[in-house]
Chain A
Amino acid sequence: DTEVTQTPKHLVMGMTNKKSLKCEQHMGHRAMYWYKQKAKKPPELMFVYSYEKLSINESVPSRFSPECPNSSLLNLHLHALQPEDSALYLCASSWGGGPSYNEQFFGPGTRLTVL
């Protein structure tokens, strides 16, 4: 299984809502990533988990809260978002750590619209 899955595919939420994005992989990868991608722009790294510990936080606002419950799952909890947070949110995974191959595999993304 070489697939990264993300749910939901589309999400529309109001600025006062609380929602979560989910990501799952069963490749045995130990590094998982969240990226944000605005239209016609490259992906921007938000968070990196390595061996279920947060290793990189690219100064992301606290209204985005990542969680890694186990080595296969990655969540992104959303609260009090702004319309400018509307974007495609991409999850990725790789072997992670040490002199490993480190090819990143991406999921299909969640298209988020904040009203």
Chain B
Amino acid sequence: KQEVTQIPAALSVPEGENLVLNCSFTDSAIYNLQWFRQDPGKGLTSLLLIQSSQREQTSGRLNASLDKSSGRSTLYIAASQPGDSATYLCAVRRYNNNDMRFGAGTRLTVKP
């Protein structure tokens, strides 16, 4: 069974700092990996999707990498802002399957 782990569980940084969030998964037979952002009590906002054949994806200040063989993905946030404060979740999709497994998330606080 696929297990997804996110470290750290919580992170607090000053505004302007660059930071890295980590996601690891136990079964490398994945179809894709998706990073989401969730504000308290809200739904999930898709940030980046990496297909299993890709190594990284970029969107603005965000960069996500994928190393399928080692079962790891990272989300890099450049020049963090207070508005980036939220919980960040990664989710992996089994190969050719609609089942997605989520990590427990990293709760990020960016202080002004």
Name A's B-contacting residues (CB within 8 A): 4, 6, 31, 33, 41-45, 48, 50, 55-56, 88, 90, 92, 94, 96, 101-109, 111
Contacts and interface: CB of A to CB of B under 8 A. Distances in A.
Binding site secondary structure of chain B: strand
B43 A109 contact: yes
A109 B93 CA distance: 21
Interface stretch (B11-19, B72-80, B97-105): B97-105
Given A48-B98, A107-B43, A41 B49 contact: no
Given A31-B98, A48-B98, A96-B98, A43 B49 contact: no
Contact of B99 (A4, A56, A88, A111): A56
A96 B98 CA distance: 7
Contacts, number: 55
B103 A42 contact: yes
Contact of B46 (A55, A105, A109): A105
Contact of A90 (B43, B46, B49): B43
